[in-house]
Amino acid sequence: MSDFEKIVRGNLVDADRVQHDGWLGIRDGRIVARGHGTPPSAGESVDARGCWVLPGIVDGQVHAGSQADQEGLGHASRAAAAGGITVMVDMPYDASGPVSHRARLDEKIAETERDCHVDVALYGTIDAEHGLDAIAGLIEGGVCAFKFSTFEAAPGRFPRIEEDDLLAAFTRIAPAGLACGVHNQMQELTRKNVQRLMAANDVGWDAFHRAHTPLIENLATALIYEIGAQSGARAHAVHVSTSRGFEIFKTYRNAGHAVSIETCVQYLMLNHEEHTAKFGALTKHYPPIRPKAEVDQLWTHIAAGNCTFVSSDHVSWGLERKRDPNVFKNASGGPGLETLLPAFWTGCETRGISPTVVAQLLARNPARHFLLDDRKGSLREGADADIVVLKPETYRFDPSRSLCAVQWSSFEGMEMTARVMATFCRGTQVFDEGGTTPTITHNPGYGKFLRPKAQSAAPSNQDRM
């Protein structure tokens, strides 16, 4: 009789070490043993020697439902599996209505368990219709965090929450120990700048960057952390693109407040002078893609351990939402589930940053942040057997091979140094790169909805790095 149902063999990359020629023993969807050298017998063996074997990626910022009839959780989970992502944490701002009350949350849980190939955790939010009193039901229903915005990106779907309401929401959420993530953008300054540029017909590819100054982002980042300090809640800035934002974060962290910070892979791998000049509105994100000098500064914070985690901020806008000659009329965001891991790995490798940092910022830390680390984010014994096999290989990213709902990318043509070869979710293979044809290898409905682990009290600084 075999010792294990499955053995995966390769160079194991944990958040704290790399174990060359290691192996993982899997039984009943969990890692039950690990070792070095020749493994014991198993019913099935995955020989990935010469490849990197990492914990399944936890993407902490996914927008699968922003555009009606475009993607949805199920289709997004296909791209996630192809990108080595075994947990999608989906944002609450769906075209069908925000996840601002228990009934809407329950609908989304049902969608997850009907359509998804990988596991899913969900954000909740608040809106004017359901108000603060809906927070308790969302917590009871199993959201892993809350998302708010200091800017109204879309009326109704993505509203601005004013500062006094933010404080009230943070205060109600604090006892549950869940993070309060906030889109960090000052609304009045943004609109003033945009109106000025549009009045001058200054609406070309570089105008969005000039309209959205670092001050607009940095002031909002400080506001978020100060509301966290006042309320005692875990305050989280969801997409920081400036070095100054990281310095503000460090000030609050060093003072002992429960704060965390996230950047997105596009702010680390794209720059204004090269990529926005080439791709125009395809690289339109909020915050904007910054100049190369700022990008280089962000990497110093990655290397210094100042970042909680890195995400994709994935959204599959159709190209019809990205081709208006007036940059301000195009949607912000783009597809990113399949580029998060290979792009971040490439960036770290290019800068001599250890592979362990990839496991920290794409797996362990986001699992901790969303209170999923009792089963996700590591290769330890007892954890879910969420595993990605990454092959050292130089190639240029081709979005025409994507399993996403759209086949365009602002990473098109970027040279990557590692390719996702296989993805396992709870021990079951859900993706096979397959050489010529990337393939989803398991049926929809395999994915599970993930509730956060219970907390006895709100942590003082849960996202320690």
Residue at which a domain ends, from 312, 335, 370? 370
Number of domains the chain contains: 2
Sorting pLDDT into bands at 50, 70 and 90, what band is 463? Answer: low
* pLDDT value, residue 457: 46
* pLDDT value, residue 462: 46
Is 177 within the bounds of a domain? yes
Please check whether residues 229 and 133 belong to one and the same domain: yes
Please check whether residues 295 and 179 belong to one and the same domain: yes
Over residues 72-111, the pLDDT tens digits come to 999 999 999 999 999 999 999 999 999 999 999 999 999 9
Please check whether residues 25 and 118 belong to one and the same domain: no
- Residue 148: which of 256, 220, 245, 57 has the closest Cα? 220
Please check whether residues 95 and 125 belong to one and the same domain: yes
> What is the number of other CB atoms lying within 10 angstroms of the CB of residue 168?
18
Q: CATH number, domain at 26?
A: 2.30.40.10
Please check whether residues 140 and 36 belong to one and the same domain: no
Is 400 within the bounds of a domain? no
Is 111 within the bounds of a domain? yes
Please check whether residues 286 and 435 belong to one and the same domain: no
Which residues is 391 bridged to in the sheet? 419
* pLDDT value, residue 461: 54
Please check whether residues 111 and 224 belong to one and the same domain: yes
Q: Please say if the pLDDT value at position 69 is more than 70.
A: yes
Please check whether residues 154 and 227 belong to one and the same domain: yes
Over residues 278-336, the pLDDT tens digits come to 999 999 999 999 999 999 999 999 999 999 999 999 999 999 999 999 999 999 999 99
Is 199 within the bounds of a domain? yes
Please check whether residues 29 and 100 belong to one and the same domain: no
Is 405 within the bounds of a domain? no
Over residues 12-50, the pLDDT tens digits come to 999 999 999 999 999 999 999 999 999 999 999 999 999
Q: Which range marks the domain in which residue 344 is found?
A: 56-370
* pLDDT value, residue 3: 84
Q: CATH number, domain at 88?
A: 3.20.20.140
* Average predicted confidence (pLDDT) for the chain: 95
Tokens read off for 218: 């940095």
Please check whether residues 28 and 139 belong to one and the same domain: no
Please check whether residues 229 and 333 belong to one and the same domain: yes
- Quick check: pTM over 0.75? yes
Q: Please say if the pLDDT value at position 401 is more than 80.
A: yes
Over residues 235-274, the pLDDT tens digits come to 999 999 999 999 999 999 999 999 999 999 999 999 999 9
Please check whether residues 331 and 299 belong to one and the same domain: yes
> What is the number of other CB atoms lying within 10 angstroms of the CB of residue 419?
19
